[in-house]
Amino acid sequence: MSRREVHRRLLDGRARSWALDVLADADGLAAVRHPLGFVCLPLERDGGEGVCLHLWSDSLAHAQSTTSQIHCHSWDLISHVLYGQMRNVHAEVTDAGADATHRVFEVVSGADGDRISPTRRTVRHATGLVEVFGPGDTYTLPAGRFHSSVVPEGGEAATIALGRGRPGSRDLSLGPLGAGPHHVSRQPLDARETALAVRLITAHLT
């Protein structure tokens, strides 16, 4: 199902039923651990558009980020909270020299993982607007906006994530000043873990 069709389901108030239908026919899902702390169940990828389910749960092992949780997308995001609480924490990022605390890294994703490259830009950051969303809420975030997605410690949450690429934008992350270029392989879930992820979301929605 295309991003546009899924968005229409969200607007019509049918997000939960759509998610349950998708999960009932989950054979072949290739779930992966995302470095930002969630499990991603990719459902559709068509050119610059995509549809995924994102799951935060302590019942599944987490991947570790090599940079930080503060990042910005090369695509415009529409996120719908299926259950749990999601905090969209905006970061106010300013260029800095000798007093910089972080370097900006470019993240280029491919089939074999993420190629992470330091840029010449060094920055400081402060916490900006903190938006709190609960079940049934939908929020948007334009490409290029630094933020982090935070679930309360020990909390469980799942979202529908819709993305549309914006030409000329890049995926960026804030990381240590001295870190060099490196490659991070995405960690796939095995069949047992994928089935557990499906059961966890389904249980919360029924």
Domain count, the chain: 1
**Residue 111: which pLDDT band, with cuts at 50, 70 and 90?**
confident
pLDDT of residue 2: 87
pLDDT at residue 46, as a whole number: 83
Is the per-residue pLDDT at 188 higher than 80? yes
What does the alpha-carbon distance between residue 74 and residue 71 come to, in Å, rounded to a whole number? 10
Domain that holds residue 91: 3-205
What pLDDT score was predicted for residue 151? 95
pLDDT of the residue at 153: 84
pTM of the model: 0.94
What integer pLDDT is reported at residue 27 of this predicted model?
A: 81
The helix/strand/coil state of 195 is helix
**Measured distance CA(103)–CA(122) in Å, rounded:** 4
**157: burial class by Cβ within 10 Å (0-12, 13-18, 19+)?**
buried
Cβ atoms within 10 Å of 200's Cβ, excluding its own:
18
Instruction: Give per-residue pLDDT as tens, 74-100.
Output: 999 999 999 999 999 999 999 999 999
* β-sheet bridge partners, residue 80: 138, 160
Q: What is the pLDDT of residues 14-44, one digit of tens each?
A: 999 999 999 998 788 889 999 999 999 999 8
Q: Could you give the CA distance from residue 88 to residue 145 in angstroms, rounded to a whole number?
A: 11
Residue 200: predicted pLDDT = 96
- CATH of residue 137's domain is 2.60.120.10
User: DSSP string spanning 124-171?
Assistant: EEEEEEEEEE-TT-EEEE-TT--EEEE--TT--EEEEEEEEE-TT---
- Residues 40 and 52: their CA atoms lie apart, in Å, by 7
The half-sphere exposure of 97 on its side-chain side, counting CA atoms within 13 A, is: 0
Instruction: Report residue 66 as tokens.
Output: 């090599």
Q: What is the pLDDT of residue 47?
A: 79
- pLDDT tens, residue by residue, 50-68: 999 999 999 999 998 999 9
Q: Could you give the percent of the chain with pLDDT greater than 90?
A: 88
Q: What is the residue type of 33?
A: R
pLDDT digits (tens, 9 = 90+) for 154-181: 889 999 999 999 999 999 999 999 999 9
| Alpha carbons 190 and 32: distance in angstroms, whole number | 9
